[in-house]
């Protein structure tokens, strides 16, 4: 399974070309089901900030529910999926309990102001222009390796308030 995933990833990367920043990685599941991660990116960490945010869109075209259960990168000590919630009048973030569910046929959008990947213990700053290698582990699709290009957050959707 892992070897197959890597082969698919390599094909996707090759098809992507040099000029296309958005990366698409497709994992074929045993029953011809497809889980796709697209438009992944991470915000830069200026001034030695040790916390960073990452974003992506997870498309589950499979006929079976899946769940993002783990996130790992060599660039941070810990990474987890976060969601926003209202605590009275205050918007807070918290870890998504039990993993981020992506139901059959559903799309999970991680974007500024909403769900995101939180990186803790960033030792080497995320610099604009580089890409952060991230391994996502799904309950059913297994491990999917992606790259998160580092780019600036648009307008007021900055994550530095955390």
Task: Report the residue from 71, 79, 82, 136 that binds Cu ion according to the rule CB under 5 A.
Answer: 82
Rounded Cα distance between 21 and 59, Å, is 18
Q: Does 117 bind Cu ion (CB under 5 A)?
A: no
Q: Given candidates 115, 118, 144, 148, which one binds Cu ion under the rule CB under 5 A? A: 118
d(CA 83, CA 87): 13
Candidate residues 61, 64, 93, 101; the one interacting with Cu ion per rule CB under 5 A: 93
Instruction: Mark residues 12-51: x for contact with Cu ion by CB under 5 A, - for none.
Output: ----------------------------------------
* Tokens at 140, concatenated: 């059913």
- Its sign, for the CA torsion 134, 71, 53, 77, is negative
* Residue 130 · residue 87 · CB < 8 Å: no
Q: Given the complex with Cu ion, which of 78 and 152 has the nearer CB atom?
A: 78
Footprint on this chain of Cu ion (rule: CB under 5 A):
82, 93, 118
């Amino acid at each position: 399974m892992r070897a197959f995933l890597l082969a698919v990833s390599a094909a996707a990367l090759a098809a992507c070309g040099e000029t296309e920043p958005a990366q698409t990685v497709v994992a074929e599941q045993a029953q011809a089901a497809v889980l796709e991660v697209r438009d992944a990116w991470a915000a830069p960490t200026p001034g030695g900030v040790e916390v960073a945010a990452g974003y992506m869109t997870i498309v589950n075209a499979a006929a079976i529910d899946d769940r993002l259960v783990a996130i790992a990168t060599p660039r941070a000590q810990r990474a987890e999926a976060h969601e926003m919630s209202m605590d009275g009048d205050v918007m807070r973030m918290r870890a998504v309990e039990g993993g981020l569910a992506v139901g059959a046929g559903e799309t999970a959008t991680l974007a500024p102001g909403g769900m995101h990947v939180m990186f803790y213990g960033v030792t080497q700053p995320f610099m604009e222009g580089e890409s952060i290698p991230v391994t996502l582990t799904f309950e059913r699709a297994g491990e999917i390796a992606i790259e998160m290009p580092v780019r600036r957050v648009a307008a007021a959707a900055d994550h530095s308030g955390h």
